[in-house]
């Protein structure tokens, strides 16, 4: 018979074992505590100090880029990438396989980037692997918005509350977003990591030029001890970047891009550039750079060529003629210059004209774009000192940095060393557009100065900054503030208007019934392998409108057209004309957009056609012109003091000048030409009396 078990002894034995284990564990804890607090205290204190001193950089919120009206051109948006964890704790393969058809159909319906069959194959592919090798972050799709994220969670199988059951996860990331797509994208620019840093910085356009302002200032975190953990706390908060308000007008940008694209498409050009600028403020209202797709199927936003150097062609004759008029190199606009079939100056290759004639008047050189005429005028003064022409151009401020806010901007290049080294032949070519390299934005600024009465306003793409440093970018002048006198500017405006409205103007194609355009055509052969390729042309038109009261200046380049249109006026000039007419039709030229009010005459601008005699007479005296034959009619007498002059049908500049010369004050209402005045013409009034002028079209 077996001996009964002593339960008390068994229980006691168990207690002894439990107590022994507890004592052993306690001993180990006490031993480890002694080691950590006494033996290895220095090591742990050093590690704690190192951990507590760890800092992290806080990336600031990048500022937005805005249009002039506050519309967002570039901003930061959060996007999500959806992923599946096929080794999630409660992921059930059988349930997933049973739901995959419904899930695939729903994904194809909401996110048709794949068909239902393609979604099904994509979802099941990881299940072909052994369980231990299945991915924990299988990518479903990226670029999801917050609304898309909610949609994914509402789909069959993903509706479950616990993510561990479905394996669905989302990675959040921030990206730079352009709400208007490619509109002015090259000027706005792009962001990305740089060689110097893995942080996101501007890489082109405004994003790069103003990166320090848009980026803001990074912050720093430090470790702090909280109740149950060590947490990060901002030691120096990040300062968000400033919002940059550009001068871009969304409506005008849309017009310019569409008109440039239409003309490029119709003539099959390689690329094109168009810039629209406000005459008085220098605000760049629109800028577009389009380049033909590699597959020749259309045009896309391309390299920003507005700030790159090109040989300008004949558009630069305006600068040469302006200097000649301003400095008295020509004193008689009716002086006849011999041209012939060619002119071999300084033993070089004969200079020729596209429209050859035996002679030409000074006033017709720009209208007919005469290379010979322009070279004869400039070499008249600078023949013995070719470097003097470069120095004179430099005096105007034309070679100074513009600082427009466009990344990659360069200054014009004129080889002054070559000129000073006896470069008479180079001088004769430079004055009509060859042997120089000028960015289109500089040509635009020059024409804008002429349109604005001689004031050289700096083009700008940034209007103001909003944020930690609120500031307004002032309207700034280039150089001495003036490129020429108001009288010279008026004469140049007349010459440029005749390019379109004169009987022999190279821009006659641009005449229309709505907006008077003034400007200059330019053609330049392209250089390939160090030589001119006469089969490829770069065609330019730079001008302003309305000619009688300029509001906008526009520069267009068209490179190598291959069909339909091959001239500067019919390609680049056509873009300017179409933009002007679109602005007019939308009432953006200080006009009524009601076509029922009438239209302009195609015979030529009223100001220059009906008052040539007045214009000629008014500018004869300052230039010392002889009292010879005027264009039309007798020379009118200067306004008598105390007698109200007749200023009807004149533009505002001329009207104000005549009224003030007669000793009166002026008040102006409206826009366009003088339609009426009070007191009436010829009446006598006291000096200082205000003459009220009403303008109209």
pLDDT at 649: 67
Query: In the predicted model, is pLDDT for residue 635 greater than 50?
Result: no
pLDDT at 599: 44
150-173 pLDDT, tens digit per residue, is: 999 999 898 876 556 788 999 988
pLDDT at 488: 95
> Taking Cα atoms as reference points, which of 227, 200, 184 lies closest to residue 67?
184
pLDDT at 611: 34
In this structure, of 16-20, 182-186, 579-583, the range with the lowest mean pLDDT score is: 182-186
> Taking Cα atoms as reference points, which of 53, 31, 54, 35 lies closest to residue 43?
35
> Taking Cα atoms as reference points, which of 270, 288, 246 lies closest to residue 535?
270
Residue with tokens 């907006």: 515
31-81 pLDDT, tens digit per residue, is: 877 777 776 777 767 776 666 666 677 778 888 889 998 888 888 888 899
Query: In the predicted model, is pLDDT for residue 496 greater than 90?
Result: yes
**Which pTM does this prediction carry?**
0.71
Sequence-separated (6 or more) residues with CB below 8 Å from residue 486:
453, 454, 653
Sequence-separated (6 or more) residues with CB below 8 Å from residue 387:
416, 419, 420, 423
234-292 pLDDT, tens digit per residue, is: 677 888 888 989 999 989 998 999 999 999 999 999 999 999 999 999 999 999 989 98
Q: Where are the alpha helices (DSSP H) in 502-610?
A: 574-585, 606-610
Cis, peptide link before residue 679, omega less than 30° from 0:
yes
Angle between helix axes 652-661 and 486-501 (nearest 10 degrees) is 140
Q: Quick check: helix, strand or coil at residue 350?
A: coil
Question: Residue 410 and residue 403: Cα distance in Å, rounded?
Answer: 9
> Would you place residue 219 in the very low, low, confident or very high pLDDT band (cuts 50, 70, 90)?
confident
CB-count exposure of residue 15 (10 Å: 0-12, 13-18, 19+) = exposed
Beta strands in 59-133 (DSSP E): 65-66, 72-84
pLDDT at 630: 33
* C-beta atoms surrounding 628 within 10 Å: 10
pLDDT at 101: 93
Beta bridge partners of 202: 191
Mean pLDDT throughout 191-219?
76
In this structure, of 226-230, 439-443, 492-496, the range with the lowest mean pLDDT score is: 226-230
Query: Are 600 and 513 in contact, with CB atoms under 8 Å apart?
Result: yes
Complete DSSP assignment for 574-593: HHHHHHHHHHHHTT-SSS--
Selection from 3-7, 110-114, 594-598, 624-628 with the highest mean pLDDT: 110-114
Q: Report percent pLDDT > 90 for the chain.
A: 36
pLDDT at 319: 95
Cis, peptide link before residue 283, omega less than 30° from 0:
no
Query: Are 511 and 504 in contact, with CB atoms under 8 Å apart?
Result: no
84-94 pLDDT, tens digit per residue, is: 999 888 888 88
> Would you place residue 446 in the very low, low, confident or very high pLDDT band (cuts 50, 70, 90)?
very high
Distance from first CA to last CA of the chain, Å, rounded?
134
In this structure, of 139-143, 359-363, 672-676, the range with the lowest mean pLDDT score is: 672-676
Query: Are 217 and 204 in contact, with CB atoms under 8 Å apart?
Result: no
Q: Where are the alpha helices (DSSP H) in 313-355?
A: 317-326
Sequence-separated (6 or more) residues with CB below 8 Å from residue 107:
114, 116, 119, 155
> Taking Cα atoms as reference points, which of 564, 558, 612 lies closest to residue 333?
612
Q: Quick check: helix, strand or coil at residue 276?
A: strand
Query: In the predicted model, is pLDDT for residue 324 greater than 90?
Result: yes
Query: In the predicted model, is pLDDT for residue 603 greater than 60?
Result: no
350-409 pLDDT, tens digit per residue, is: 888 877 678 899 999 999 999 999 999 999 999 888 888 989 999 888 888 888 878 788
pLDDT at 625: 34
Distinct helix (H) and strand (E) counts, the chain: 22, 27
pLDDT at 559: 94
Query: In the predicted model, is pLDDT for residue 452 greater than 90?
Result: yes
Please give the helix or strand (H or E) that residue 7 lies within, else none. helix 7-34
pLDDT at 675: 74
């Amino acid at each position: 018979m077996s001996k009964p078990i002593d339960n008390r002894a068994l229980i006691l034995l168990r207690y002894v074992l439990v107590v022994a284990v507890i004592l052993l564990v306690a001993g180990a804890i006490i031993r480890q505590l002694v080691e950590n607090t006494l033996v290895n205290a220095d090591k742990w204190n050093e590690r704690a100090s190192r951990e507590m001193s760890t800092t992290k950089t806080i990336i600031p919120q990048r500022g937005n880029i805005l249009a002039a009206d506050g519309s967002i051109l570039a901003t930061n948006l959060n996007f999500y990438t959806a992923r599946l964890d096929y080794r999630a704790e409660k992921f059930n393969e059988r349930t997933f396989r049973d739901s995959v058809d419904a899930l695939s159909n729903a994904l194809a319906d909401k996110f048709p980037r794949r068909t239902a069959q393609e979604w099904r194959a994509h979802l099941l592919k990881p299940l072909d692997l052994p369980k231990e090798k299945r991915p924990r972050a299988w990518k479903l799709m990226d670029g999801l918005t917050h609304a898309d994220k909610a949609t994914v969670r509402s789909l069959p199988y993903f509706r479950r509350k616990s993510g561990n059951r479905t394996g669905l996860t989302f990675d959040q990331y921030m990206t730079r977003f352009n709400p208007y797509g490619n509109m002015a994208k090259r000027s706005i620019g792009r962001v990305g990591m740089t060689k110097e840093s893995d942080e996101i910085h501007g890489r082109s356009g405004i994003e790069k030029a103003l990166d320090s302002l848009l980026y803001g200032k990074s912050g720093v975190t430090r470790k702090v001890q909280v109740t149950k953990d060590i947490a990060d706390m901002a030691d120096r908060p990040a300062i968000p970047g400033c919002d940059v308000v550009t001068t871009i007008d969304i409506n005008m940008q849309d017009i310019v891009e569409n008109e440039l694209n239409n003309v490029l498409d119709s003539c099959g050009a390689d690329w094109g550039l168009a810039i629209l600028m406000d005459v008085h403020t220098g605000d760049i209202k629109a800028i577009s750079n389009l380049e033909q797709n590699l597959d020749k199927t259309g045009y896309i936003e391309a390299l920003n060529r507005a700030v790159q150097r090109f040989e300008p062609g004949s558009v630069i004759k305006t600068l040469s003629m302006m200097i000649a008029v301003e400095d008295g190199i020509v004193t008689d606009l009716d002086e006849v210059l011999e041209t012939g079939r060619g002119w071999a100056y300084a033993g070089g290759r004969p200079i020729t004209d596209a429209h050859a004639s035996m002679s030409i008047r000074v006033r017709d050189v720009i209208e007919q774009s005469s290379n010979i005429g322009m070279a004869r005028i400039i070499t008249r003064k600078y023949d013995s000192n070719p470097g003097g022409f470069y120095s004179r151009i430099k005096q105007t401020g034309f070679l100074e940095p513009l600082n427009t806010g466009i990344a990659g901007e360069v200054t014009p290049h004129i080889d002054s060393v070559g000129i000073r080294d006896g470069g008479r032949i180079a001088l004769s070519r430079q004055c009509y557009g060859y042997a120089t390299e000028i960015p289109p934005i500089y040509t635009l600024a020059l024409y804008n100065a002429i349109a604005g009465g001689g004031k050289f306003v700096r083009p700008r793409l940034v209007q103001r900054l909003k944020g930690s440093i609120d500031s307004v970018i002032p309207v700034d002048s280039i150089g001495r503030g003036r490129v020429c006198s108001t009288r010279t500017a008026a004469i140049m405006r007349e010459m440029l208007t005749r390019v379109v409205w004169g009987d022999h103007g190279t821009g006659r194609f641009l005449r229309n019934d709505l907006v008077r355009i003034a400007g200059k055509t330019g053609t330049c052969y392209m250089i390939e392998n160090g030589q001119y390729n006469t089969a490829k042309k770069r065609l330019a038109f730079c001008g302003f409108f309305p000619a009688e009261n300029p509001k906008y200046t526009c520069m267009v380049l068209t490179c190598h057209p291959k069909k339909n249109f091959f001239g500067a006026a019919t390609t680049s000039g056509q873009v300017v004309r179409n933009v002007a007419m679109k602005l007019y039709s939308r009432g953006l030229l200080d006009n009524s957009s009601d076509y029922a009010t009438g239209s302009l005459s195609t015979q030529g601008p009223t100001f220059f056609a009906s008052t040539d005699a007045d214009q000629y007479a008014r500018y004869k005296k300052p230039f010392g012109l002889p009292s010879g034959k005027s264009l039309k009619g007798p020379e009118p007498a200067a306004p008598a003091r105390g007698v109200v002059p007749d200023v009807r049908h004149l533009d505002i500049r001329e009207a104000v000048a005549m009224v003030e010369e007669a000793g009166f004050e002026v008040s102006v209402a409206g826009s366009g030409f003088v339609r009426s005045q009070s007191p009436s013409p010829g009446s006598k009034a006291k000096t200082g009396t205000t003459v009220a002028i009403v303008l109209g079209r």
